[in-house]
Structure 1
Amino acid sequence: MLKKLLVVGLFLVCAFLGFFAFKNLPYAHQYKWFPYLGILVGFGIAGLAIFIEQVFRKVPLPVIIGGTVGLFLGLGLARLLSLVFEQLNTGLFSAFLYGLLSVFFGYIGLVLGGRKFQEIRMPDSVSNAVSFVSKRFPKRECPKVVDTSAIIDGRLADLCETGWVDGPLIIPSFVLAELQHIADSTDPHKRARGRRGLDTLQRIQEAGTVEVRIVEQDFPEIKEIDDKLVELCREIGAKLITTDYNLNKIARLKGVPVLNINELALALKPIVTPGETLKITLVKEGKEKHQGVGYLDDGTMVVVENARDLIGNEVEIVVTSLLQTPAGRIIFGKLKEANAKKAVA
């Protein structure tokens, strides 16, 4: 709300100043419409200021500082060089030369200053202060923005309690609002998922192993929550924790590091090789004839040939092959001799 008032005030002030500036120009009294042209010019200047503000909002603070210093140094050098020719040439030529040198050295100073300033190594205290001003976190921290899907999933709380997750967890206010909306849904399944997400956040906070920060930063001009999450990660230099496949792809395409809980769970599944012996309980029939299906403790599906008659029993099998799918890993096996004879009998 405050920003909107400032924008309205900016347009009004610029229009007011433009009106009176054009009204007092020489010969302005000959054209009644001339002061109203000043209002349009004022509006244009205000719009240009807002555009520049939007562009510079995405530029890191060191680049702005370096570019500003370089610009002033370039303009100063241009002025010194133009003074050499002022005594030898006419005023018109000197003014033209000064303008040319200002554009040349000003551009070089702006570009080189913005790039080279980032290479300067500053003390940690100064670096952290600059990071705070530019809304980025100190380098010793590794902030992680958490999306709604990862909170509702519930496994994040277990990861935090084991100590595998470090750095502050950043929970945007718009994610909390989405969680509350889901928890208040009339659909019982959505309501249960939303409440599970709120319970997960409370569990992480009460455990105290990882700091949780609620940030009020929002992007009103962005409608989609996924786009807001990506923009927030880019602005504060954070990683994104999610279980959403599409958000995972979009964030990585835009250069945001992603920690996908599903990928982590897949990577932590126990390694099984062909020829290895396993004990599982068959719980249901398979798709093909005579197949039985069981599951490992981590949820990996195990398909056993010629075991349909042993459903409900614990059997010992020999792994024959593995199949990796986007949904996870499937293990194929056959019964050991004792179990095979029992199935035949």
Structure 2
Amino acid sequence: MQLSPLFRLFGTLIYGFIGWELGVALAQTREITPESAMIILTSAGVCALIGYILSPWLLVAPARAARNNLRQVPIEDLLTGIFGLTLGLIVAALLAYPVSKLPTPFGTILPFVIAIVFGYLGATVMVLRKQDIFALWRIPTSAGAAASNGVVANSDRALLLLDTSVIIDGRIADIAGTGFILGKMAVPRFVLNELQYIADSSEVLRRNRGRRGLEMLDKLQNNPEVEIEFIDMDPEDAQQVDDKLISLAMELDAAVVTNDYNLNRVARLQGVTILNINELANAVKSILLPGEELSLKIIQEGKESGQGVGYLEDGTMVVVENGRQYVNQEVLVHVTKILQTNAGRLIFATPEAF
């Protein structure tokens, strides 16, 4: 239904009526005479024209905004809000009669104030406590409905929410392709929006990272062995993407897959399960013990005098004492010490000749 013509007509009539009354006041008479008619009709016409012009901004735009906002309100919020408003107005009605017996002006004003306050409190409290209220009657909310409709297909399979950093990183696609991830992966709509925003950035590096993330999502979707979907749920109790991700994970009892150190710490403090790809990468690196031998190609000089540096296949750095002379050569080295750091594992070794 097109509301613009209706609201424009309504605004024109209202402003025309105001202009008519203003013309009567200026003419100081309601009798239609040639002189008064010119004043009244001119005033009514000018005001009606103003109403015709301004009504889209004064009536149509607010009505359209209210309608769009109403469409985004979850059905349980709408129902609980109406129910709470009704309860609040009932309580206000019960209090209105005794309050109306107060002396003027309190007896006249306070009933309206009480109705507004209790109506607002009723709606607000019911919306904020909707989870507990629906739980009393075992009614699922949108989170429960989403779970029953496929967000969590099986109760024995974990739901894994992917954040922006792990999608851009790309290793999740390779890990999922190996079959090690038994849970169902999901990408919230607000994460996808952030990824698209990064891909549209004017900075080349940032834009390339965003496009890489979109390519990784496409790779995951096209892998028949990977189960992934997008979730339209957007928590209203958070503004930042990380906060929304934590809130959604708590609501759906899901785990968050991330490479973000700060998100990792904050989520764990709130009891959310975190799967960190960097921690996984460190965990699956080959384990070496002091005294073991390995073949290593030394590719560059180290920071200290005489040192050489090489890397294992998993990316672990090996610092070879007295290895500078073997740069660009493959030699047999003995492991002397292993150092575990926040950045990963660091191995120290010496050439076999020493």
TM-score for both structures, normalised by structure 2: 0.69
Shift of the 60–132 alpha-carbon distance from structure 1 to 2, 3 Å rule, reads farther
Contact 1:58 1:235 survives alignment (8 Å): no
For 1:217 and 1:129, the matched residues in 2 are separated by 11
CA distance in 1, matches of 2:133, 2:227: 26
Q: Tell me the SS of whatever aligns to 1:157.
A: helix
State whether structure 2 residue 321 is matched by structure 1 residue 248.
no
CA offsets per residue over residues 130-180 of structure 1, 9 Å max, x none? 9639x8775223111111011011000011110111222111111001100
Corresponding residue of 1:288: 304
Alpha-carbon distance change, 61 to 259 in structure 1, aligned in 2, over 3 angstroms: farther
**C-alpha distance in 2, partners of 1:53/1:141?**
33
Which position in structure 2 is the counterpart of 1:39? 112
Equivalent position of 2:193 in the other structure: 177
SS in 2 for 1:176: helix
CA contact (8 A) 1:323 1:331 kept: yes
Counterpart among 268, 274, 280 of residue 258 in structure 1: 274
Identity of aligned pairs, percent?
38
Tell which deviates more after alignment, 297-306 or 208-217: 208-217
Residues 242 and 259 in structure 1, CA contact (< 8 A), matched pair in contact too: yes
Distance in 2 (CA, whole Å) between partners of 1:183 and 1:244 is 19
Separation in structure 2 between the aligned mates of residue 194 and residue 321 of structure 1, nearest angstrom = 40
**Candidates 56, 78, 87, aligned match of 2:129:** 56
Cα offset, 1:20, TM superposition? 6.8
CA distance in 2: counterparts of 1:179 and 1:27, whole angstroms: 58
| Distance in 2 (alpha carbons) for counterparts of 1:41 and 1:27 | 11
Q: Structure 1, residues 213-268: CA drift from partner, whole Å, max 9, x if none?
A: 21111123412211111110000110110011111111111011111111111100
Quick one: which of 157, 171, 191 aligns to 1:141?
157
Q: Measure the CA separation in 2 of the matches of 1:206 and 1:225.
A: 26
1:171·1:214 contact (CA, 8 Å) conserved in 2? yes
Q: CA deviation at 1:55?
A: 4.0
Q: CA-to-partner distance for each residue in 1:23-76, whole Å, 9 max, x for gaps?
A: 6558649634434322322232233334433542454955x348x9xxxxxxxx
1:251 is paired with a residue whose SS is: helix
- Per-residue CA distance 1:157-209 (angstroms, 9 max, x = gap): 01111011122211111100110011111111111111111111110110022
In structure 1, distance between residues paired with 2:159 and 2:133: 17
**SS of aligned partner of 2:129:** helix
Mean Cα deviation higher: 29-38 or 300-309: 29-38
- 1:169–1:27 distance in 2 versus 1, CA, 3 Å: closer
1:272 to 275, 279, 288: 288
Match of 2:52 in 1: none
Counterpart amino acid of residue 312 in structure 2:
L
CA distance in 1, matches of 2:100, 2:125: 33
How far is the alpha carbon of 1:317 from its aligned partner? 0.6
Q: How many residue pairs were aligned?
A: 276
Counterpart CA distance in 1 for 2:246 and 2:90 is 40
CA offset at residue 275 of structure 1?
Answer: 1.1
Q: 1:237 to 1:314 in 2, by over 3 A?
A: same
Question: What residue number does 1:313 align with?
Answer: 329
After TM superposition, give the deviation of residue 284 of structure 1 in Å: 1.4
Trace 1:1-345 onto structure 2 (pairs within 5 A): 1-2=69-70, 3=73, 28=101, 31-59=104-132, 62=135, 64-65=136-137, 132=148, 138-337=154-353
Give the equivalent residue in structure 1 for 2:7: none
Once residues 146 and 327 of structure 2 are traced to their aligned partners in structure 1, the CA distance between those partners, rounded to angstroms, is 64
Cα RMSD after superposing both structures: 3.3
TM superposition score normalised by structure 1 = 0.71
Distance 1:60 1:327 in 2: 47
Q: Which has the larger radius of gyration?
A: 2
